[in-house]
């Protein structure tokens, strides 16, 4: 038998044979690695490595989910809620930024709660820069107070504002102040135009963005086809999603409404009034595009007085469109951790969609 020192004393021919085997083994491994690297990515395979978090938005004045809504939360495995806490608007009488429309909790939410604060752009337009620090303090105090009163803990706060190029600097300064005072990560809602025109709108100084895939067109215009979602309009912006520098989450629209115009000027919204309800009204005549209706006489309905000639446009997004756009966004968004949220938690809205559709919208892509 060879001793310990003798094991490494091989003859030259033995050494060459061993070196050849090692060289061939390395070549084989390198070739396999190269071939694996060059294979095209299969999105259905890589999808399983992405962390998808399902969530709902709650945008009502009172938090008291119905039994049906609680069942939907349970059945869809929802453990995250974005709850609208309050608004911040500009008071023209006092010339101050005023928090208002506070949520009233009749029930404690279960799971992860993300407070959402809506800030009107006119607040930022009118507020002088010197008032930003005081506003940040008032907002922080209001969020903290609501959290303490209802035993709600949170590790993220979201701000919803359709800021403009004129208000960008003030909004970003306000966000910086809020991040320090709240001492937690912030997220903000992002509109499609803010995705495309980053040179003008800037990148908010926050941890994440929530891409709103709705309100893509101007609802104030009578000739708009569908202000909630129009694929032709969205296609002008979606290609820029993949290069947006912030990690992105997505909120998809479940809501539907009817927009009413008088003399080609916006008159009012009719929430949860769909095409079927309009078609069943004896005083409305359907137009060729099937989503528009004209009032044929003066009458009263839907809680207001209707004049002959008033235009009603029913807006909604089909389940097929929502599912298709969800998969497209999964291919575009680069971050591995992503929240898919639905707007919003409401029995009337949810009843319009099958359980299978809701599950498809909230869960990862099904694998073969």
Please give the structure tokens belonging to residue 85: 């806490």
Q: Candidates 3.20.20.80, 3.40.50.300, 1.10.274.10, 3.10.270.10; correct CATH number of 47-254+317-362? A: 3.20.20.80
3-state secondary structure 304-318: EEECCCCEEEEECCC
Asked whether 344 and 55 are in contact (CB, 8 A), the reply is no
Q: What is residue 44's predicted lDDT score, i.e. its pLDDT?
A: 42
**Average pLDDT, stretch 258-265?**
97
Among residues 345, 364, 339, the alpha carbon closest in space to that of 65 is found at 345
Structure-derived torsion over alpha carbons of residues 73, 76, 78, 82, reported in degrees to the nearest 10? -70
Among residues 185, 165, 102, the alpha carbon closest in space to that of 139 is found at 102
Distance of CA 33 to the CA centre of its chain: 38
What whole-number percentage of the chain has pLDDT above 90? Answer: 84
> Which has more pLDDT, 339 or 34?
339
Q: What is residue 286's predicted lDDT score, i.e. its pLDDT?
A: 96
The count of other CB atoms within 10 Å of the CB of residue 261 is 20
Give the start-to-end residue ranges of the domains of the chain: 47-254+317-362, 257-315
**Average pLDDT, stretch 105-133?**
97
Strand 265-271 and strand 257-262: pairing? antiparallel
DSSP H or E segment with residue 183: none
User: Which residue pairs, CB below 8 angstroms and at least 24 apart, start in 224-230?
Assistant: 224/313, 225/289, 225/291, 226/291, 226/315, 226/317, 227/259, 227/315, 228/253, 228/255, 228/256, 228/257, 228/315, 228/316, 228/317, 229/253, 229/317, 229/321, 229/325
Among residues 255, 331, 343, 272, the alpha carbon closest in space to that of 59 is found at 343
Among residues 239, 330, 251, 361, the alpha carbon closest in space to that of 47 is found at 330
Q: What is residue 36's predicted lDDT score, i.e. its pLDDT?
A: 39
**Average pLDDT, stretch 345-349?**
96
What whole-number percentage of the chain has pLDDT above 70? Answer: 86
Among residues 199, 200, 201, 194, the alpha carbon closest in space to that of 216 is found at 194
pLDDT tens-place string over residues 125-164: 999 999 999 999 999 999 999 999 999 999 999 999 999 9
Distance CA(95)–CA(122), nearest Å, equals: 11
pLDDT(46) > 70: no
Distance CA(150)–CA(155), nearest Å, equals: 15
pLDDT tens-place string over residues 202-214: 999 999 999 999 9
Give per-residue burial for 219-256: e unless 16+ CB within 10 Å, then b: beebebebbbbbeebbeebbebbeebebbbbbbbbbbb
Among residues 185, 180, 177, 178, the alpha carbon closest in space to that of 206 is found at 185
Among residues 173, 140, 165, the alpha carbon closest in space to that of 154 is found at 140
Confidence class of residue 363 from pLDDT cuts 50, 70 and 90?
confident
**Average pLDDT, stretch 192-201?**
96
Distance CA(225)–CA(231), nearest Å, equals: 10
Q: What is residue 364's predicted lDDT score, i.e. its pLDDT?
A: 73
Q: What is residue 365's predicted lDDT score, i.e. its pLDDT?
A: 60
Asked whether 311 and 325 are in contact (CB, 8 A), the reply is no
Distance CA(285)–CA(297), nearest Å, equals: 10
Q: What is residue 49's predicted lDDT score, i.e. its pLDDT?
A: 60
Q: What is residue 361's predicted lDDT score, i.e. its pLDDT?
A: 95
């Amino acid at each position: 038998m060879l001793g310990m020192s003798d094991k490494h004393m091989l003859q030259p021919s033995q050494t060459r044979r061993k070196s050849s085997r090692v060289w061939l083994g390395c070549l084989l491994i390198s070739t396999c690695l190269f071939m694996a690297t060059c294979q095209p990515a299969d999105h259905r395979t890589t999808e399983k490595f992405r962390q998808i978090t399902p969530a709902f938005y709650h945008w009502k004045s009172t938090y008291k989910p119905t039994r049906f809504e609680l069942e939907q939360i349970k059945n869809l495995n929802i453990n995250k809620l974005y709850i609208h806490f309050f608004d911040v608007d500009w008071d023209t009488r006092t010339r101050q930024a005023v928090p208002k429309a506070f949520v009233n909790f009749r029930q404690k939410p279960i799971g992860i709660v993300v407070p959402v604060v809506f800030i009107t752009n006119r607040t930022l337009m009118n507020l002088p820069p010197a008032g930003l620090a005081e506003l940040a303090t008032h907002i922080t105090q209001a969020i903290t107070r609501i959290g303490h009163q209802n035993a709600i803990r949170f590790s993220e706060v979201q701000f919803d504002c359709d800021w403009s190029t004129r208000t960008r600097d003030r909004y970003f300064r306000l966000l910086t102040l809020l991040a320090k005072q709240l001492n937690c990560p912030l997220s903000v809602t992002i509109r499609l135009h803010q995705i495309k025109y980053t040179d003008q709108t800037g990148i908010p100084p926050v941890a994440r963005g929530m891409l709103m895939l709705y309100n893509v067109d101007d609802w104030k215009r009578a000739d708009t086809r569908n202000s909630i979602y129009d694929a032709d309009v969205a296609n002008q912006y979606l290609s820029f999603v993949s290069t947006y520098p912030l990690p992105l989450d997505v909120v998809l629209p479940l809501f539907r409404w009817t927009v009413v115009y008088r003399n080609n000027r916006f008159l009012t919204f009719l929430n949860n009034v769909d095409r079927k309800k309009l078609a069943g009204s004896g005083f409305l005549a359907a137009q060729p595009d099937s989503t528009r209706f004209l009032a044929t006489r003066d009458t009263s309905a839907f809680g207001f007085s209707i004049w002959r000639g008033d235009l009603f446009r029913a807006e909604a997004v089909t389940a097929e469109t929502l599912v298709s756009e969800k998969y497209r966004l999964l291919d575009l968004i680069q971050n591995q951790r992503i929240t898919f949220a639905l707007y919003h938690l409401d029995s009337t809205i949810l009843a319009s969609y099958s359980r299978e559709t809701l599950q498809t919208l909230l869960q990862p892509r099904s694998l073969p």
